[in-house]
Amino acid sequence: MNESVVSLRGVRAELGSRPVLRGVDLTVRRGEVVALLGANGSGKSTAVRGIIGQVAVSAGEIEIFGVPRRRFRDWHRVGYVPQRTTAAGGVPATVTEIVASGRLSRARFGILRKADHAAVRRALELVGMADRAKDSVNALSGGQHQRVLIARALASEPELLIMDEPMAGVDLASQEVLAETLRGQVAQGTSVLLVLHELGPLEPLIDRAVVLRDGCVLHDGPPPRAVGQHALPGHDHVHPHAAHDAEPLRTGLLS
Amino acid sequence: MDILDYAFMQRALLAAVLVGVIAPSVGVYLVQRRQALMGDGIGHVAMTGVGLGFLLSTSPVWMATAVSVLGAVLMELIRWYGKTRGDIALAMLFYGGMAGGVMFINLAPGGSNANLTSYLFGSLSTVSESDVTAISLLAAFVMAVTLGLRRQLFAVSQDEEFARVTGLPVRALNLLTAVTAAVTVTVAMRVVGLLLVSALMVVPVAAAQQLTRSFAATFAVAVAIGVSVTIGGTVTSFYQDVPPGSTIVLLTIGAFIALTALASPLARRRARALAAAQAAGDPAECAIPATRGPESTVGV
């Protein structure tokens, strides 16, 4: 069971002329829950956006289910939750309409059949939003938006979930729902790659943490334990980051 | 209905109705991806096509179609590979398109800005038999795209990054949207004119949004508004001797204002209904119950 579902080897990426990833190695094995941690600007979002092909990588190899990303076509095996604070677009849309777009990867020619609609309903039930199915997403709270985005990712019944800061701007009640949803998915054998700012209520689920700093892997192993006040239940990790976090370190060793 | 006794009015009405259907059908996706002014930009680029048509003594309509399709594809490419800021690059395309149109038309033998007027503001009463055929074919293409690919276009317009991970051909769909918008602009050029095209793509959608909660309903109501105002504007212009293009656009804005006024009591009623539905389980107001009984827990 050591088969890797995501593997990055020596991945480099630039945004403009600024190097954001400087040779990142990262592997998620089947059934594993891996958290990608790091300060703002450490490259964790760029790393997942490189995996899905939204950001071009300049060097290195990315494989999804053992297939080079450029040749990977089985996108229904991947569920993606982008970093968003809202699920809304410029035109009103219902919760069901948004979640149904997650099922397109399994639908031929964009035609949703009975089984597809059933899968959309199941995804909504998983995040506890079935009673809001016909509501406009504009009428939802921040936590409910996030639940809709996660239901959209679950609609294709993926084997791998990639989530970029799923807990950002989510109230504690929704965080618990999301943690519960994720626990259910993991129990069914879904592999998960999560970008997180802090471990929070997901901590017990996480098998391994990869910490990025300035585009390099700083730590790959058991998740770092929160200490002191950070370890208190319900601790809301909100404080301005120190200047060295915002400004990438330029040691010259790797650039 | 003496209005239908005239062949030119029959053609005008048919063209107007087709534009009333297709303009909001494309517009709804442009509004969804927050590119509401794209139609306006294409309209400016189409002016260069009209000017070239006069200069080369070919059909201004087909030349405008060709140039605006090219312009729309160029706008999409700028969005992908944007080296300069996207909005600056688009602005230059808009102004370049307009200046090019005026330049070419004045270079054309016997051409002057007066020739542009019918394209800028529309000339519905001069729609010919062959125009009707062209408009019908192009409208069929637009409807095939906007209805046939509605789920794909919805996904791409809602969240491009997510759509990529569903394996949709995001770039191809973006290009198709741009081309479809360009075709719509040149079809609508005869009805409302290049300067007012964008209004018919955007305002019906904005008006429909005041009432709707779903994308499907917004699409349907926007098309209904589009058809109503194009018929209303064409009929009014026949009886009152006013320009049809501006009548149609003013009617559309009137519809927006009327629906906005109508929407606030509707929203209040919905809020009351929701509060009533929740009253059984969960207090909608910030009242703290004295004792928490089982009836105050939310039933899911």
pLDDT in tens, A2-44: 688 999 999 999 887 888 899 899 999 999 999 999 888 888 8
The helix (run of H) or strand (run of E) holding residue A220 is strand A216-221
Q: What angle do CA B95, B253, B202 make, to 5 degrees?
A: 50
> In this structure, are residues B206 and B212 in contact, taking their beta carbons and an 8 Å threshold?
no
Residue B44 has pLDDT above 70, yes or no: yes
* Proportion of chain B above pLDDT 90, given as a percent: 46
Q: What is the 3-state secondary structure (H, E, C) of A150-217?
A: HHHHHCCCCCEEEEECCCCCCCHHHHHHHHHHHHHHHHCCCEEEEECCCCHHHHHHCCEEEEEECCEE
Residue B27 has pLDDT above 50, yes or no: yes
Report the alpha-carbon distance of residue A45 to residue A164 in Å, rounded. 7
In chain B, what are the helix, strand and coil shares in percent, each to the nearest 5?
A: 80, 0, 20
Residue B92 has pLDDT above 80, yes or no: yes
- Alpha carbon separation from A120 to A75, A124, B12, B32, B157 (Å, rounded): 17, 6, 45, 22, 20
- Lowest average pLDDT, out of A27-36, A126-135, B86-95, B99-108, goes to B86-95
Q: What is the pLDDT of residue B83?
A: 60
pLDDT band at A91 (very low <50, low <70, confident <90, very high): very high
Q: What is the pLDDT of residue B185?
A: 92
Report the alpha-carbon distance of residue A135 to residue A98 in Å, rounded. 11
Give B174 to chain A, closest Cα distance, Å.
Answer: 15
Model pLDDT for residues A48-62, shown as the tens digit of each residue = 999 988 888 899 999
Within 13 Å, how many C-alpha atoms sit on residue A220's CB side?
7
Report the alpha-carbon distance of residue B2 to residue B9 in Å, rounded. 10
Residue B84 has pLDDT above 90, yes or no: no
Residue B135 within any structural domain of the chain = yes
How many structural domains are present in chain B?
Answer: 1
Domain limits for position B103: 2-197
Taking residues A158-174, report their average pLDDT: 86
Spelled out in words, what is the top-level CATH class assigned to the domain A4-246?
alpha beta
Q: What is the pLDDT of residue B292?
A: 45
**Residues of A with Cβ-Cβ distance to B150 under 8 angstroms:** 110
Q: What is the pLDDT of residue A249?
A: 40
Model pLDDT for residues B207-264, shown as the tens digit of each residue = 999 999 999 999 999 999 999 999 999 999 989 888 888 999 999 999 999 999 988 8
pLDDT band at B37 (very low <50, low <70, confident <90, very high): confident
Max mean pLDDT among A202-206, B94-98, B218-222, B291-295 falls in B218-222
B14's tokens: 């048919």
Record: contact B168-A135, CB cut-off 8 A? no
Which of these, A21, A38, A31, A43, lies nearest to A224 by C-alpha position? Answer: A38
Record: contact A152-B33, CB cut-off 8 A? no
Concatenated DSSP letters of B234-292: HHHHHHH---HHHHHHHHHHHHHHHHHHHHHHHHHHHHHHHHHHHHTTS-SSSPPPSS-
Residue B271 has pLDDT above 80, yes or no: no
ipTM score of complex: 0.82
**Domain harbouring B6, CATH code:** 1.10.3470.10
- Residue B99, Cβ neighbours under 10 Å: how many? 14
Report the alpha-carbon distance of residue B105 to residue B94 in Å, rounded. 17
What does the mean pLDDT of chain B come to? 85
**Chain B interface mutation, best of A64, A91, A95, A127, highest count of B Cβ atoms under 10 Å:** A91
Taking residues B39-67, report their average pLDDT: 89
Residue B280 within any structural domain of the chain = no
* Proportion of chain B above pLDDT 70, given as a percent: 90
Of A91, A110, A131, the CB nearest to B218: A91
Report the alpha-carbon distance of residue B44 to residue A61 in Å, rounded. 44
Largest CA distance in chain B: 88
Residue B202 within any structural domain of the chain = no
Max mean pLDDT among A149-163, B117-131, B275-289 falls in A149-163
Model pLDDT for residues A66-81, shown as the tens digit of each residue = 999 889 989 999 999 9
pTM: 0.85
> In this structure, are residues A96 and A127 in contact, taking their beta carbons and an 8 Å threshold?
no
Residue B247 within any structural domain of the chain = no
Contact partners, residue A192, CB within 8 Å, separation at least 6: A28, A32, A33, A34, A160, A161, A162, A163, A182, A185, A186, A205
Residue A247 has pLDDT above 60, yes or no: no
- CB distance from A125 to chain B under 8 Å? no
Report the alpha-carbon distance of residue B225 to residue B233 in Å, rounded. 12
**Chain A interface mutation, best of B32, B81, B150, B162, highest count of A Cβ atoms under 10 Å:** B162
Record: contact A54-B300, CB cut-off 8 A? no
**Residues of B with Cβ-Cβ distance to A89 under 8 angstroms:** 32-34, 157-159
Concatenated DSSP letters of A39-95: -TTSSHHHHHHHHTTSS--SEEEEEETTEEGGG---GGGEEEE-S-S----SS--BH
Give A71 to chain B, closest Cα distance, Å.
Answer: 11
